[in-house]
């Protein structure tokens, strides 16, 4: 690297003389596993030099690992190193998912001259986009533990449930048994300041002139970034050519996008399987070798419609046919639990009693997930936990026809709280005739950040505020006889840290208070879920 640090790389090359395009993957998860070997052989046998590199401070590479902070410069230096090798023809592509995806953006922003194309999967967003709460998410600590030191740490050796219960957040690493300075440093920045701006990319699409294939799954726990990045590049890419060469692929997957057909109890069929290596190969054959293989002529968006379990090709994201449709929250004042009287209706009620519940951070409403950071949530059944009274459930009658929902989901909520700061969570669900209550997508708002992360603003207890909750995206065919449901509560633990309802520091607060929450839904307060519905053809 430019500062003299040596980073280690494994290079897989065709067993033939000549110069070849290079594909680079830079990883904190160690370059010498069986999967890396298989991928290296796959591409070398097809005329590429594949380069796996341990990022700075991990595996065989020198230096200290500080997540994201060195990846832009190190990525640039490694791309240019690849281009200068005697086995390289000077054309370099990058690929990888999750951490390996986000650091491609950081390298691209450095403008390496020989970078030609990127393949970015399950990509994390800028700070506070997928975790809009002023913290990085409790399960981020699991990831920091896993990537501590030079080797992979055993996450199964830690009682994560006990870790996530620990307060204050600042010393949660003590419960793990490992000092993690990165955790504590990040918690010292509860607003989007210069510390975070140094590793942001989603406000810089106008600086990038590259073809990119964006890929994720509807149940990827970092899903929100992939459609945002595709749409951002289509709208703001540096050149017309860059804007025209974006592609989006979304399937019924979690953070691991290949090799499985089911999430939890939902099986999406063999057609949901993805030939990931073949998809990568076609992309790079076109952009690194100049092959006319149909990539340039395909529709830019390919989506898997869950419920129908079929693939759809679209000209844009969101699909142009999607019509923004509001379903309004309604009840007789007793929407508590799935046994309450909450309903979703086509027009806002003229006058209706508000719904109320108590949010106690000592007994948070759960988000169903395994405790480690490898996959946060899925197509889980929320029927059992909806028995609690601290969740409001609003449902349609059984549908008399199929309803196709494809695009971003949001909830407009009018709410008051007895606390100076609190949270509101919303989740979209498909209630099957069998009683299975399938989670589709969800989101949250932290009251102090209702206007963004430039500053924190407490709320006035008892005053009604309008909150917009981004529930990410889905593509679901709600079948005839199913019901559309929305649930509202004030925690989703441990996906998000608990709001202690005091307005004190997120990092150091330990004092808890119970919040009395009131959700309004009447003509003056038309709380609703906004669904992008595609009209069914006759």
Q: Report the run of H or E that residue 162 belongs to, with start and end.
A: helix 160-165
* Residue 203, token pair as written in the block: 């406000």
Interaxial angle between packed helices 276-289 and 34-44, expressed in degrees from 0 to 180 and rounded to the nearest 10: 40
Q: Tokens 């459930």 appear where?
A: 393
Residues in Cβ contact with 486 at an 8 Å cutoff, skipping those fewer than 6 apart? 327, 329, 344, 393, 394, 395, 411, 426, 427, 428, 429, 529
Instruction: Give Cα 507 distance to the centre of its chain.
Output: 23
- How far is it, in rounded angstroms, from Cα 462 to Cα 296? 56
Q: Residue 303: what are its φ and ψ, rounded to 5°? A: -125, 145
Of 527, 224, 529, 300, the residue nearest 403 (C-alpha): 529
Of 477, 377, 353, the residue nearest 425 (C-alpha): 377
Query: CB–CB of 533/363 below 8 Å?
Result: no
Residues in Cβ contact with 277 at an 8 Å cutoff, skipping those fewer than 6 apart? 39, 42
Which residues are known catalytic residues? 98, 220, 255
* Residue 224, token pair as written in the block: 């929100």
The secondary structure of residue 433, as a DSSP letter, is: T
* Residue 356, token pair as written in the block: 């109320």
Q: Residue 337: what are its φ and ψ, rounded to 5°? A: 70, 170
Measured from the Cβ of residue 153, the count of other Cβ atoms closer than 10 Å reads: 16
Distances, alpha carbon 356 to alpha carbons 340, 417, 488, 516, in Å: 12, 10, 11, 7
Of 96, 504, 77, 437, the residue nearest 277 (C-alpha): 96
Cα dihedral angle (488, 349, 334, 480), rounded to 10 degrees? -70
Measured from the Cβ of residue 402, the count of other Cβ atoms closer than 10 Å reads: 14
Tell me if residue 252 falls in helix, strand or coil: coil
Residues in Cβ contact with 531 at an 8 Å cutoff, skipping those fewer than 6 apart? 324, 325, 326, 327, 405, 409, 428, 484
Task: Tell me the β-bridge partners of 212.
Answer: 118, 246
Measured from the Cβ of residue 436, the count of other Cβ atoms closer than 10 Å reads: 18
Task: Tell me the β-bridge partners of 93.
Answer: 23, 117
Query: CB–CB of 134/449 below 8 Å?
Result: yes
Greatest alpha-carbon span in the chain: 78
């Amino acid at each position: 690297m430019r500062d003299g640090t040596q980073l280690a790389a494994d290079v897989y090359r065709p067993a033939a003389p000549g110069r070849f395009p290079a594909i680079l993957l830079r990883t904190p998860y160690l370059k010498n596993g069986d999967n890396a070997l298989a991928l290296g052989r796959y591409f070398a046998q097809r005329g590429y030099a594949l380069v796996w590199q341990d990022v700075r401070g991990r595996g065989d590479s020198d230096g200290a690992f500080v997540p994201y902070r060195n990846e832009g410069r190190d990525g640039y230096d490694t791309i240019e190193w690849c281009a200068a090798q005697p086995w390289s023809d000077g054309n370099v592509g990058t690929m990888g998912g999750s951490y390996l995806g986000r650091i491609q953006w950081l390298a691209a922003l450095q403008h390496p001259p020989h970078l030609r194309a990127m393949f970015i999967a399950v990509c994390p967003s800028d700070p506070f986009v997928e975790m809009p709460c002023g913290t990085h998410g409790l399960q981020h600590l699991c990831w920091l533990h896993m990537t501590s030191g030079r080797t992979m740490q055993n996450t199964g050796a830690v009682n994560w449930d006990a870790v996530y219960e620990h307060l204050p957040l600042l010393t949660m690493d003590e419960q793990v048994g490992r000092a993690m300075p990165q955790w504590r440093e990040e918690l010292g920045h509860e607003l989007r300041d210069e510390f975070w701006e140094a590793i942001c990319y989603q406000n810089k699409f106008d600086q990038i002139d590259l073809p990119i294939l964006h890929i994720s799954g509807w149940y990827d726990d970092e899903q929100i970034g992939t459609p945002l990045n595709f749409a951002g590049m289509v709208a703001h890419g540096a050149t017309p050519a860059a804007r025209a060469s974006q592609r989006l692929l979304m399937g019924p997957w979690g953070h691991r996008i290949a090799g499985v057909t089911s999430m939890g109890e939902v099986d999406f069929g063999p057609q949901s399987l993805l030939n990931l290596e073949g998809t990568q190969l076609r992309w790079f054959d076109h952009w690194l070798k100049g092959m006319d293989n149909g990539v340039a002529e395909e529709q830019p968006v390919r989506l898997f419609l869950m419920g129908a379990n079929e693939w759809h090709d679209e000209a844009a994201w969101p699909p142009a046919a999607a019509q923004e449709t509001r379903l309004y929250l309604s009840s007789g004042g007793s929407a508590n639990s799935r046994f309450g009287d909450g309903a979703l209706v086509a027009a806002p009620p003229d006058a209706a009693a508000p719904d109320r519940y108590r949010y106690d951070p000592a007994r948070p409403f759960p988000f169903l997930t395994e405790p480690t950071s490898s996959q946060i949530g899925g197509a889980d059944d929320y029927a059992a936990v909806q028995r609690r009274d601290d969740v409001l459930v609003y449902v349609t009658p059984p549908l008399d026809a199929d309803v196709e929902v494809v695009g971003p989901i949001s909830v407009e909520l009018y709410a008051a709280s007895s606390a100076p700061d609190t949270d509101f969570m919303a989740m979209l669900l498909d209630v099957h005739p069998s009683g299975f209550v399938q989670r589709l997508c969800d989101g949250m708002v932290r009251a102090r950040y209702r206007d963004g992360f430039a500053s924190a603003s407490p709320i006035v207890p008892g005053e009604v505020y309008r909150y917009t909750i981004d529930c990410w995206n889905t593509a679901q065919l709600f079948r005839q006889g199913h019901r559309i449901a929305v649930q509202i509560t004030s925690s989703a633990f441990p996906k998000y840290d608990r709001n202690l309802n005091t307005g004190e520091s997120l990092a150091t607060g330990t004092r808890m208070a119970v919040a009395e929450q009131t959700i309004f839904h009447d003509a003056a307060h038309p709380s609703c879920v906004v669904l992008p519905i595609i009209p069914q053809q006759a």
